[in-house]
Amino acid sequence: MKNFFKILTLFFAFLITNNLFSQLSKIHYIPPLTHERSGNNFDSNAPEDQWFYISTPSVSDVPFTIKRANGDIMYSDVVNNNNGRVLRAAPAGVEYGYLFIRREETESTGNLAGFIIEAESDIYVSVRFNSNETNGGNQYHAGALVSKGDSGFGTRFRAGALQNQTGAHMNFASIMATENNTKVSITVPQDVELLSGATGTIQVTLDYGQTYVVAAEQNNTLNSREGIIGTLIESDKPIVVNSGSGTGSLLQTRADKIMVLIRLLEENWLEMNTYSSEERETMVGKMYF
């Protein structure tokens, strides 16, 4: 086991150096995020200003378009290496329906929240956001999500997140389809209940741009501290998956194609064969977050 974690440490060091290249793409899909409420009050901890950061290594202008998940165009603009673009990801004063969905909107098919960004040449895309104002207008927390572009496409994922340490914590996984009639299977770890109380395997069919979010919080079930960590997400056509953790005032998110790590490890180190496939995927998912 000790050697296994040494191998993972070296691999992640290599991954960091390679990470920037995997973020360059002509197309980026960003499924929506969510967060936990504070007591019975959800909106008191709503995220406030939300932003796109668009950049490119190209010295020439690169035209790009940002669309909502339903295809409505938000922006058509250009970016170059000397002039990055910072654009609102939601109108001023609007918290939900763009980058974020409400907790109560999880486990349902959506086609408004989330984004599709297309460009004529490779660009970087990230979204950033600030927490709600408190104590005279101060914003104490912020978060960000970096798109992996087309390198984030896949048909098999394991969700990773922070543990749910208290009842104010929640972790989630969000899915966006890149093609019509995409069949998705979501298998939650044993003894974990989603917010609706659902357990086991959920099957949904999504069309292009449609999204589906699952989330779990700490409750009285045996495995609620782990929540969605290790959740298996499979599809018959390419999808994009974000997963992360959120409290009422601070949302921490990471987005990546977890199974890429699993395949590379399995191809290069014999020690991986001493663990089952599920053990390998879950261990990497936990370490990555």
* DSSP for residue 242: E
The whole-number pLDDT of residue 43 equals 56
More confident residue, 170 or 81: 81
- Tell me the mean pLDDT in the region 75-89: 97
Treating both helix axes as pointing N-terminal to C-terminal, what angle do 2-23 and 258-268 enclose, rounded to 10 degrees? Answer: 130
**134 band by pLDDT with thresholds 50, 70 and 90:** low
pLDDT in tens, 180-216: 999 999 999 888 888 888 889 999 999 999 999 998 8
What is d(CA 86, CA 49) in angstroms, rounded to the nearest whole number? Answer: 12
The whole-number pLDDT of residue 254 equals 43
More confident residue, 238 or 6: 238
The whole-number pLDDT of residue 137 equals 64
What is d(CA 79, CA 152) in angstroms, rounded to the nearest whole number? Answer: 22
- Tell me the mean pLDDT in the region 76-86: 97
More confident residue, 248 or 171: 171
Residue 173 · residue 227 · CB < 8 Å: no
* CA distances (Å), origin 148, targets 122, 123, 195, 254: 12, 10, 28, 11
pLDDT in tens, 23-78: 899 999 999 988 776 555 555 567 778 999 999 999 999 999 999 999 999 999 99
Q: Is the pLDDT of residue 224 over 70?
A: no
The whole-number pLDDT of residue 213 equals 94
**264 band by pLDDT with thresholds 50, 70 and 90:** very low
More confident residue, 190 or 2: 190
Over its C-alpha atoms, the chain yields an Rg (Å, rounded) of 19
Q: Of 86-100, 142-156, 180-194, 274-288, which range is least confident?
A: 274-288
Name the most confidently modeled range: 41-55, 150-164, 219-233, 264-278: 150-164
The whole-number pLDDT of residue 135 equals 64
What is d(CA 162, CA 245) in angstroms, rounded to the nearest whole number? Answer: 6
Of residues 163, 50, 168, the one with CA closest to residue 100:
50
More confident residue, 113 or 270: 113
The whole-number pLDDT of residue 260 equals 40
Q: Would you call 268 helix, strand, or coil by DSSP?
A: helix
More confident residue, 64 or 12: 64
Name the most confidently modeled range: 33-37, 167-171, 260-264, 274-278: 33-37
Residue 155 · residue 239 · CB < 8 Å: yes
Q: What DSSP letter does each residue of 20-44 carry, written as one string?
A: HHHH-EEEEEE--B----BTTBSGG
Number of H helices, E strands in the chain: 3, 14
